[in-house]
A and B are shown apart, each in its own frame.
Chain A
Amino acid sequence: MKNIVLDATSDTARRYEHRFLVNEAVARLALRTSGTYLPLDRDDRPYQWSTTAYLDTYDWRIFRAAESGAALQLRVREYHRTRPNEILAGGSVYFEMKDDSASTSFKERYEVPTSDLPAYMRGDQKLPRDENGLVERADKAIASGVRPVVVTQYNRIAYAAPDGSMRITADHNLMYLAVPWIANEPSSMPCRIGPVIAREPGVIIEVKWFRELPRWADELYSYVRDHMVNERPSKFVVALRHLLGEEQTGLSK
């Protein structure tokens, strides 16, 4: 079968990544500070909607691995100006693999035609191998049978260093939603997004960097850490805990 990848990006090294749930006032201060030192990410429109469908096996292997500290997340990401009520309706999507551990991550991202996605999820079509070996690991999960299990939607504003060495994002209106997916077949697409499982009450600030943070960012990081509501696990873990009734944090529903 032909393999069409429209675009691909990959991390060249492990990236530090910390997530905090903060209130609006702290988020505004963090964004103002970030905006003083960093430009808006050129790939992001401020507050565009990011819609991500996370994949897992029928026996939740990826979630269980993530709960134990390290997992290879498989996800499909789309961007929209206004909030869509269905997934996989556009011409192309980003199929991403993210090696996520407690405080660092590795990511590979492939832009693929949406119509090819079911074949990738079935394993009938393979992504080109990457240097970090994420695709090879993803193939093992795919062989066990994966499908979209949960969706997140949020407005993201991102500031990023031009050389890609650091990135600070704020996610507003984060919602976790169900997705009634039947089969990895073209007939399942587009798929209407199901009801809201839970909403984050505050703003998620993510600080991501390679090597070390500059002084101003280090101070901002400490400030956010001191004033956070709490630290957050990945959106995937929070979403799955809610889906399976295993949530341990008090989010608004």
Chain B
Amino acid sequence: MSQQTAAGLRYAYYPGCSLEATAREYDLSVRAVCDHLGIELAEIPDWNCCGASSGHSTNRRLASTLAGRNLALAEEMKMDIAVACPACYIRLRSAQNEMKQDKKLRDELTRSADLSYDARYSTRHLLDIICNEIGLENLKNKVVKPLHGLKLAAYYGCYLVRPPDVVAFDDPENPQCLDTLLDTLGAEVRDWSGKVDCCGGSLSLSKRDIASQMVGELTEMARRAGAEAMVTACPLCHANLEMRQRGLNGNKLPVFYFTELIGLALGIKETRSWFKKHLISPSGLLTSLGL
């Protein structure tokens, strides 16, 4: 139940920890693009970390109640939740299922955080919201600067599409929404087979060599498909793809957040300032195309 108002759509916004720091430009671009598209984001007051992989990898009950507290806070706001980070997205959606089935978990949440939870609202990813609530036809009408000549590999990674019984707004093996969205913005989207392969983001800090090898395989695949940049909807993929690409800076593939490219095509003026935060600068590529 997203709230439909005269102005558009309203959601309880869960930014997640990465968007406060390493993925600052993702948060800024999400807020600017949503504002431009008439999606109102009301940040959940005093939200806490969802626990991410570390939560469910080592303490599954805690993972449910940590995410559950955010779900219950959003329920008080009587709105569906909008999430930008796929790792938070899958945790919130999994926790919703777990809390629904397990009364003991709901009781634990009530005793600790003084919140009740009835699982009445849903959690949506912003890619899903923009593709399926705003609609690509609407988006197309707002494009003022088509991204002509920009050759892109749409990279979905893991948690936007897997496991399909928890997430499922697109096909788990050959998803299309991000490809179609970038096509709508006028970019040249390359078909490639790495779109749902894992980049090793969860190992980026603890097992650098493994993450580097996984990133290397992905970027090589994207390059072979003719892409000059990759596009992601995940802050962990973005950080990992930027940090763990080997080689000289000039030879690395820039990585965009999908919202940054929407901003560019829609002519949102802050767009340039988001790109300045990238470790691999996309400016040369964009300038060469007159974008």
Q: Do A and B come from one complex?
A: no
